[in-house]
Chain A
Amino acid sequence: MSAEGPQVVITGTGVVSAAGLGADAAWKALLESEPKARHDPELDRVTCRVPDFDTAARLGGTWARRTDRYSQLAFVAGDEALKEAGLTPGDWDGPRVGVVMGTAFGGVTTLEQQMIRHLAGEKVSPMTMPMFLANMLPGQLALRWGALGPSFAASSACASGATAIALGAALIQSGSCDIVLAGGSDAPMVPLVAAAFARMGALADRREHPAGASRPFDVARNGFVLSEGAGVVVLERAEHAAARKTRVLARLAGCGMAADAHHVTDPHPEGAGLARSIHAALRQAGASATEVDHVNAHATGTPKGDVIESRLVSGLVGQRASVTSNKAVLGHTMGASGAIEAAMTVRTITERTVPPTANLSRLDPEVDLDVVTGAPRAQHVELALSHSSGFGGQNAVLALAAP
């Protein structure tokens, strides 16, 4: 980050998504433009779901039984991130390791299941609270990994994952931690959440062609596809990573967060909060907008949001930066999206490749951006921005740079 404090680097990434377990699976699906949206018979809508996996084998029987799905997805992503970083829990200086995880919904699956039991006059599970509360995920991860530093949750709706990463970086910059496991997770695949989003008119409605439902920047977009997933990155003080002689994937050069303070759900018409977040992230990175090579856009596929974001980005970087959205392939993973997209942006830097935006048949004429479509584009990216915005007018931007 800026010269004011310790530099923060990323040494590991982990992703669980509708493409499967692992960042490789998500990256491959993005490169191949292979949308994971399907008709969901349980919710009778188009959704993206993480493929089933043996939670007991992956996590151990007690953890599998005593955690909500949103925790389980993050456990898997976190283990992957630690492995890539070459870190073994317990071998580290525990009090110097923090955990910050973002979530929009917490254990909403557990909450809904137990609410049904309660309303039917049955006893609720004694695990209801530890499975449902939003702070439990970082608590569980700290317990699982022996991370004894600061541990807390960040919640800013669909900006939660990026917010958590920004706050994790701040813990390193302040000198509180050498390592922070940060990211986001959500598994909101329950009837109540789907019905609530549908009632707001937020969901893409293309039952006849589910794979084409999520269409960021396309003229025919009509909403987002509800999805689940988790993303975790290992943030590390640069000197700490250097001392371990571990590979640095990218630098987290800057972070910015700001509120629209405009409307409970609608973004500011000029993206004011997102704009301030971008400027704050660039300022911290010591960079200007002209240096931005690539933008991983929030772009969920809603009619209003995509245009507001595109006008803002166009005004800042014009056609100089490549732009992509991961949500046509992976759906909108809510509080996980910012973390998953940060991990994919790190991939763009390390692989020197920008994945295309799938389902982009006809670019909205109001979108004046260099949106990558069709095939992956080879590009050496020095500085990228990853955008996240949430209901509540909360925005978070991460500036990621080549090491």
Chain B
Amino acid sequence: MITINSLRVTVERAITDLLDEPVAITGDSSLDDLGLDSLALVELIDTLAKELGRPLEDDLFNKTMKVDDLVATLMNGAPA
């Protein structure tokens, strides 16, 4: 069963892989603050869909979303 901590690790790794430079990711960081552009948001959705093994809607995230909100969104829909 997926836990919120393991999901956070997965999300942070997926974000890090999209960035050239390492950044400090906190729960309060917005995706925009982290440097993800609109194309990277879709790439993030593709990566997480693969990692979680379930389809995710293309508009599930937006740039102003904070990492905590993103994790919570995924957790609410995560497979048991």
Contact = CB atoms under 8 A, between A and B. Distances in A.
A123 B46 contact: yes
Interface string B33-66: 0000001001100100000000000100000000
User: What interface size band does chain B fall in?
Assistant: under 10
A126 B39 contact: yes
Interface string A113-131: 0000000000101110010
Nearest to A64: B20
Contacts of A127: 39, 43
A126 B42 contact: yes
B63 to A, nearest CB: 14
A130 B42 CA distance: 14
A130 B20 contact: no
B20 A126 contact: no
A126 B61 CA distance: 15
B20 A125 contact: no
A352 to B, nearest CB: 44
A123 B58 CA distance: 10
Contacts of B20: 60-62
Interface of B: 18-20, 39, 42-43, 46, 58
Contact of B43 (A60, A61, A126): A126
A62 B39 CA distance: 12
Contacts, number: 18
Interface string A51-81: 0000000001110001000000000000000
A130 B39 contact: yes
A255 to B, nearest CB: 37
Interface residues of A, number: 9
Interface in A122-156: 123, 125-127, 130
A73 to B, nearest CB: 20
Given A60-B20, A125-B43, 11 more contacts: A61-B19, A61-B20, A62-B18, A62-B19, A62-B20, A66-B39, A123-B46, A126-B39, A126-B46, A127-B39, A127-B43
B10 to A, nearest CB: 19
13 contacts: A61-B19, A62-B19, A62-B20, A123-B46, A123-B58, A125-B43, A125-B46, A126-B39, A126-B42, A126-B43, A126-B46, A127-B43, A130-B39
A225 to B, nearest CB: 36
Contacts of B58: 123
User: Top 7 nearest A-B pairs by Cβ distance?
Assistant: A126-B42, A126-B39, A62-B20, A61-B20, A60-B20, A126-B43, A127-B39
Nearest to A126: B42
Contacts of A125: 43, 46
A66 B18 CA distance: 10
A189 to B, nearest CB: 25
B19 to A, nearest CB: 8
Contacts of A60: 20
Contacts of B19: 61-62
Contacts of B43: 125-127
Contacts of B39: 66, 126-127, 130
Nearest to A123: B46
A399 B43 CA distance: 46
Contacts of B46: 123, 125-126
A62 B19 CA distance: 7
Contacts of B42: 126
B61 to A, nearest CB: 13
Interface string A280-310: 0000000000000000000000000000000
